[in-house]
A and B are shown apart, each in its own frame.
Chain A
Amino acid sequence: MAFVAIADRDHEQEHHDPHTFVSKYIWSQDHKVIAIQYGGTAVLVGLVALVLSGMMRLQLAFPDYFSFIRPNEYYQFVTMHGMIMVIYLLTALFLGGFGNYLIPLMCGARDMVFPYMNMLSFWAYLVSVIILMSSFFVPGGPTGAGWTLYPPGTILPGTPGSDMGILLMLLSLAVFIVAFTMGGLNYVTTVFQARCQGMTLMRMPLSIWGILTATVLGLLAFPALLVSAIMMIFDKTLGTSFFMPAVLSMGQALDHQGGSPILFQHLFWFFGHPEVYIVALPAFGIVSDLLSVHARKNIFGYRMMVWAIVGIGALSFVVWAHHMYVSGMNPYFGFFFATTTLIIAIPTAIKVYNWVLTLWQGNIRLNVPMLFSIGFIFTFVHGGLTGLFLGNVTVDLPLSDTYFVIGHFHMVMGVSPIMVLFGAIYHWLPKITGKMFNETLGKIHFWCTFLGTYAIYLPMHYLGILGVPRRYYAYGLSDFIPASAQSMNVGITIAALFVGVSQLLFIINIIWTLTKGKPAGSNPWEATTLEWLTPDTPPKHGNWGHNLPVVYRWAYAYSVPGAALDYITQTDPQKGGDIEEGDHGKH
């Protein structure tokens, strides 16, 4: 007999039900409340990172005007912008936010299997955010070593924040990893142990497959970052030499000897590359569901999609050194890592084909979540294809460390996951709040974000081909950088500020929804999956009232021939509409 999660045991229900305001909304063990806490914190800290990027762009476009942005500050903005966006916004929002909200609801569970640990996960995350933000207020400010934190520079004078700033950064990362581990163990265990009757793995929505696989990647990859953070703290505070060779600093030979800066890079990217997929796989999963629901069509090639997610996840552990082609590592590594990296393009391409083929012969509703989903396909195709340049070792040589890289990873890891995040928030907002958002505002928000970001990042690729290096505070006079490139920089900055400000539309829309939104009803999109079938909207504590749902088919029974409606919910006991019917009977 399967393990019954604490949250599923009826007699436990009484203890567990929150009574006071504090236990209901603050010190809460309800996965939906924790999801909102995670999501809200991530969005707030993301806004900080957005402002930082705006200041970087101001400096690059108008290098003579802003006297408060000096090289120290510029590199601190660069570093904090990158780290916040990757870890504290994207990872936290996809897994802590959507993972928490969707896993129990989509799997038909009452809650996560370890609700108390789930709660601790959020509070540890909050602590990590507070530690990170506090580094803005210590002497020397936050670290300016770049988000990759490469030693030896990171902990030596000459890099901003090389005393307090870097220690707070490393400490914050360590606490974040503790938070992630507590949450991650919960997500994996809940998916494997607490699915309702009939919810076989191959009937799960792809959102869950994406989140599950990403969480497994996180649990395997984050320890590499944790050990590198700990070793770097030792190098800094105890004078050990894990990453520190004998070096001269400020005219003095230091006591370090024998450490390897490249070892750190291997450890960092052993985490860092899977991290890309920790963000991308939930986006892949969620966008698949959004496309299917709003195209009124089953996701095309479901099983291939599942295997592609799992395959990409596995491959993501053997490609890390493609970030290090010009790091000075043994150049023969280039052959292996270029090959594995380009192989990963194949399952990724399959996913793109299947998204487009899902739209083909569909019945497409061009509402706000669908706009963002199609926006995702466009931006992801762009970002994915430029990845084939950088992943292929020779092609990477002239482009590495230039603006081409900035353009690439912002398209593939910035814009496209954020397209999915916005699409997903608009998609599930009616369930989370019980109210419908403002469609017009949502569409304007989409157009500003979609067109604006392309105007930012497309030209960056060409600046990179020209050879304009990244992480430069100012370019000044240079032989090969023409004045037209500086004009383009001004244009990019204007687009960036426009996109930044237009995000206010999103916040206004959230407030509008909460105050003026019309009741959305239980299942406004006519979707098939369990989260739309809760007895209450928003779902109450325990999610399902008295009886847990029972599942009869996969999550994509849209437009099944012969059915009365163009969708059959997963809990509808009528015959037909299951992917497994054709080959080996029913479970």
Chain B
Amino acid sequence: MALAVVIILLVIGSLLFHFLSPWWFTPVASNWSNIDSTVNITFWVTGVVFVLINLFLAYCVIRFRHTKERRAHYEPENKKLELWLIGITTIGVASMLAPGLFVWAKFVDVPADASVVEVLGRQWGWYFRYPGIDKQFGDTDVKHMSPANPFGLNPEDQAGQDDVLVYSSEMRLPVNQSVKILLRSTDVLHDFTVPQFRVKMDLVPGMVTYLWLTPTLTGEYEILCEELCGVAHYAMRSRVIVTEPDEFKSWLATQPTFAQTVTDGTGNAEQGGALYAVCAGCHGPEGKGNAAMNAPAIAGLDSWYVSAQLKNFKTGLRGTHQDDAYGKQMAQMAATLVNDAAIRDVAAHISTLAISPSEKTVSGDVDNGRSLYMTCASCHGKEGNGVWSIKAPRLNGLDDWYLVRQLHNFKNGLRGTHNSDAAGIQMARLAQILKSDQSINDVVAYIKTLK
């Protein structure tokens, strides 16, 4: 009897939960509202079946409880009843399948006037590419990939020269225009998901997959990776900004083409040497740093990393938090570099400076640090040399006090909070795995032992 009552209560409770719980679809921001309709149809059909079967079950438990006096009814089969049930079930199934296939037929049929954009996934972030004036993408290959050409574009291919490359973590789309999103991965499986768009698709290395949609609401939405892609899978996020077409066009014009990135090159270390005089005041002429001035050693840092950080400082992505006094100081210094070329030059110079071992100032449990570092090694490498393709900088050779401070900054929201700083946000998410101050000291003590 208790069982029957509980089953009835579970049915009522499930219905209440369904209608009252605060968790439901996010408001749809694309043309795929008909996907929501197929979900709703399925909810109604299955909901009716759920209620009917379970109430019948509860009825049987109440009505046919065991008594000594009574015998069960003996009826091995009832063909007529069984055929009726098969028939009704078939109708129910068809009523869900037909709308599903109808909408799927739209999904596989990309509109002819759809524009094209490429989403390139990598461990653990996103790049975006637009086809430029010729509306054609250039060839790509893994063998062309390098810090200066992370998209792997073929430099010989004319079609690729005008491709617009978006290095920041934000993708933009014009509202109310159909877009076919080509999906490509450099390394492992990923999945491009924007919950508000409803549609998603895996990125598969070695091939190009796609999906299409028409954004219908302007706004900012989160891009999530939804195919397990390794340790930092949960931190592989980005944003898509849907804007009015004019705004989209002017934004696109500010992004570099492939040809421009080639012309810009990687910076001139010699010219950078002259610019470095300003930096040397704090970081020292050989980039060894000065703990008393809170200036870390920077010698030998990869130029792509230094460029990115100088840009972050300059554009307010880093060193803006009121509690980040030294970051704010650095932001002012970075502002003295007049343009991107200056940043590239000074970064090139810094990368040529020789790393020299600095003093040990942090004490921690190296063994525990080694075990903690297993997660860090996924991006920064086993020896802490950094991995350009993951945007993970070199760690060995850095001052331990600086690493401790930055880990605290990441953890406490002083660094890696700006929406356009995807790598910073990612590190901020990963810094959360160091759940105590001691564990920060431990992992830094281990990093200090890396050569």
Residues of A bordering B, CB below 8 Å: 63-67, 70-72, 75, 140, 144-146, 150, 152-153, 156-160, 245-251, 253, 258-262, 295-298, 300-304, 326-328, 331-332, 334-335, 338-339, 342-343, 345-346, 349-350, 352-354, 356-357, 359-366, 371, 374, 377-378, 381-382, 385-386, 388-389, 392-395, 397-402, 451, 454, 458-459, 462-463, 465-467, 469-476, 478-480, 482, 484-485, 488, 556, 558-561, 566, 579, 582
Segment touching A, from B186-194, B309-317, B347-355? B186-194
Complex CA gap A397/B212 in Å reads 13
Assess the A248–B10 pair: CB atoms within 8 A: no
Look across to chain A and name the residue whose beta carbon is closest to the beta carbon of B232.
A71
Q: Which of B61, B74, B193, B205 contacts A152 (CB 8 A)?
A: B205
Look across to chain B and name the residue whose beta carbon is closest to the beta carbon of A382.
B50
CB B443 to nearest CB in A, in angstroms, measures 11
Interface residues of B in 160-207 (CB under 8 A from A): 183, 186-189, 191, 193, 195-196, 198-207
B56 surroundings in chain A (CB, below 8 A): 356, 360
Complex CA gap A338/B233 in Å reads 29
CB A30 to nearest CB in B, in angstroms, measures 35
CB B300 to nearest CB in A, in angstroms, measures 17
Interface residues of B in 235-280 (CB under 8 A from A): 237
CB A315 to nearest CB in B, in angstroms, measures 13
Q: Supply 10 further A-B pairs (C-beta < 8 A) apart from A297-B72, A343-B93, A471-B233.
A: A260-B206, A262-B207, A295-B72, A326-B202, A332-B108, A360-B64, A362-B64, A377-B53, A392-B100, A400-B226
CB B449 to nearest CB in A, in angstroms, measures 18
Most A CB within 10 A of own CB, among B65, B205, B390: B205
CB A455 to nearest CB in B, in angstroms, measures 10
Complex CA gap A482/B191 in Å reads 23
Interface residue count on the B side (C-beta < 8 Å) = 118
A343 surroundings in chain B (CB, below 8 A): 93
Assess the B3–A366 pair: CB atoms within 8 A: yes
B199 surroundings in chain A (CB, below 8 A): 397-398
Look across to chain B and name the residue whose beta carbon is closest to the beta carbon of A157.
B378
B24 surroundings in chain A (CB, below 8 A): 462, 465-466
Assess the A398–B39 pair: CB atoms within 8 A: yes
Assess the B77–A363 pair: CB atoms within 8 A: no
A346 surroundings in chain B (CB, below 8 A): 86, 89-90, 93
Look across to chain B and name the residue whose beta carbon is closest to the beta carbon of A328.
B209
Assess the B10–A364 pair: CB atoms within 8 A: no
B339 surroundings in chain A (CB, below 8 A): none
Look across to chain A and name the residue whose beta carbon is closest to the beta carbon of B62.
A364
CB A580 to nearest CB in B, in angstroms, measures 10
Assess the A296–B76 pair: CB atoms within 8 A: no
Assess the B198–A247 pair: CB atoms within 8 A: no
Segment touching A, from B284-292, B327-335, B432-440? B432-440
Complex CA gap A453/B135 in Å reads 53
Task: Decide: A361 near B230, CB < 8 A? Known: A250-B389, A342-B96, A350-B86.
Answer: no
Assess the A153–B229 pair: CB atoms within 8 A: yes
Judged by a CB distance under 8 angstroms, whether B326 is at the interface is no
Assess the B57–A335 pair: CB atoms within 8 A: no
Task: Decide: A398 near B198, CB < 8 A? Known: A251-B387, A350-B89.
Answer: yes
Look across to chain A and name the residue whose beta carbon is closest to the beta carbon of B378.
A158
Assess the B89–A338 pair: CB atoms within 8 A: no
Complex CA gap A390/B188 in Å reads 24
A478 surroundings in chain B (CB, below 8 A): 222, 237
CB A358 to nearest CB in B, in angstroms, measures 9
CB A305 to nearest CB in B, in angstroms, measures 10
Assess the A381–B54 pair: CB atoms within 8 A: yes
Assess the B42–A247 pair: CB atoms within 8 A: no
Judged by a CB distance under 8 angstroms, whether B38 is at the interface is yes
Q: Which of A392, A466, A470 contacts B38 (CB 8 A)?
A: A392
Assess the A462–B21 pair: CB atoms within 8 A: yes
Assess the B17–A359 pair: CB atoms within 8 A: no
Assess the B390–A251 pair: CB atoms within 8 A: yes
B233 surroundings in chain A (CB, below 8 A): 75, 471-473
Complex CA gap A345/B46 in Å reads 12
Assess the A327–B224 pair: CB atoms within 8 A: no
Judged by a CB distance under 8 angstroms, whether B5 is at the interface is no
- What would 8 A/B residue contacts be, using CB atoms closer than 8 Å? A158-B123, A158-B229, A328-B207, A346-B86, A361-B64, A366-B61, A395-B100, A579-B77
Assess the A401–B227 pair: CB atoms within 8 A: yes
Assess the A467–B195 pair: CB atoms within 8 A: yes
Task: Decide: A261 near B226, CB < 8 A? Known: A458-B14, A462-B24, A480-B195.
Answer: no
Assess the A392–B96 pair: CB atoms within 8 A: yes
Judged by a CB distance under 8 angstroms, whether B388 is at the interface is yes
Assess the A366–B65 pair: CB atoms within 8 A: yes
Assess the A385–B436 pair: CB atoms within 8 A: no
Assess the A471–B228 pair: CB atoms within 8 A: yes
Assess the B72–A335 pair: CB atoms within 8 A: no
Complex CA gap A297/B123 in Å reads 59
Q: Which of A385, A395, A463, A470 contacts B49 (CB 8 A)?
A: A385
Complex CA gap A393/B107 in Å reads 10
CB A463 to nearest CB in B, in angstroms, measures 6
* 9 interchain residue pairs of minimum CB distance: A245-B206, A467-B195, A328-B209, A153-B188, A361-B73, A297-B72, A158-B230, A401-B226, A559-B72
Look across to chain A and name the residue whose beta carbon is closest to the beta carbon of B11.
A378
Assess the A72–B231 pair: CB atoms within 8 A: yes
Complex CA gap A389/B39 in Å reads 7
Assess the A253–B143 pair: CB atoms within 8 A: yes
Assess the B35–A395 pair: CB atoms within 8 A: yes
Judged by a CB distance under 8 angstroms, whether B101 is at the interface is yes
Task: Decide: A338 near B97, CB < 8 A? Known: A66-B435, A359-B61, A395-B38.
Answer: yes
B206 surroundings in chain A (CB, below 8 A): 245-247, 258-261
Assess the B53–A352 pair: CB atoms within 8 A: yes
Complex CA gap A366/B1 in Å reads 9
Assess the A388–B96 pair: CB atoms within 8 A: yes
Look across to chain B and name the residue whose beta carbon is closest to the beta carbon of A365.
B66
Complex CA gap A473/B124 in Å reads 14
CB A523 to nearest CB in B, in angstroms, measures 17
Look across to chain B and name the residue whose beta carbon is closest to the beta carbon of A576.
B74
Q: Which of B26, B50, B374, B390 contacts A467 (CB 8 A)?
A: B26
Assess the B39–A559 pair: CB atoms within 8 A: no
B39 surroundings in chain A (CB, below 8 A): 389, 395, 398-399, 465
Complex CA gap A14/B36 in Å reads 69
Q: Which of B42, B143, B230, B435 contacts A392 (CB 8 A)?
A: B42
Assess the B381–A250 pair: CB atoms within 8 A: yes
A326 surroundings in chain B (CB, below 8 A): 191, 200-202
Task: Decide: A328 near B202, CB < 8 A? Known: A339-B97, A346-B86, A350-B85.
Answer: yes
A246 surroundings in chain B (CB, below 8 A): 141-143, 205-206
CB A407 to nearest CB in B, in angstroms, measures 12
Assess the B104–A335 pair: CB atoms within 8 A: yes
A152 surroundings in chain B (CB, below 8 A): 187-189, 205
Assess the B198–A480 pair: CB atoms within 8 A: no
Q: Which of A158, A377, A393, A566 contacts B57 (CB 8 A)?
A: A377
Judged by a CB distance under 8 angstroms, whether B322 is at the interface is no
Task: Decide: A363 near B71, CB < 8 A? Known: A342-B97, A397-B200.
Answer: yes
A352 surroundings in chain B (CB, below 8 A): 53
A262 surroundings in chain B (CB, below 8 A): 204, 207
Look across to chain A and name the residue whose beta carbon is closest to the beta carbon of B47.
A385
Complex CA gap A335/B206 in Å reads 25
Assess the B230–A300 pair: CB atoms within 8 A: no
A64 surroundings in chain B (CB, below 8 A): 432, 435
Look across to chain B and name the residue whose beta carbon is closest to the beta carbon of A476.
B429
Judged by a CB distance under 8 angstroms, whether B60 is at the interface is yes
Assess the A248–B25 pair: CB atoms within 8 A: no
A474 surroundings in chain B (CB, below 8 A): 234, 429, 432
Assess the B64–A378 pair: CB atoms within 8 A: no
Most A CB within 10 A of own CB, among B90, B101, B103: B101
Assess the B57–A465 pair: CB atoms within 8 A: no
Complex CA gap A397/B195 in Å reads 10
B435 surroundings in chain A (CB, below 8 A): 64-67
| Binary flags per residue of B22-57, CB closer than 8 Å to A gives 1, else 0 | 111110000010011011001001100110011011
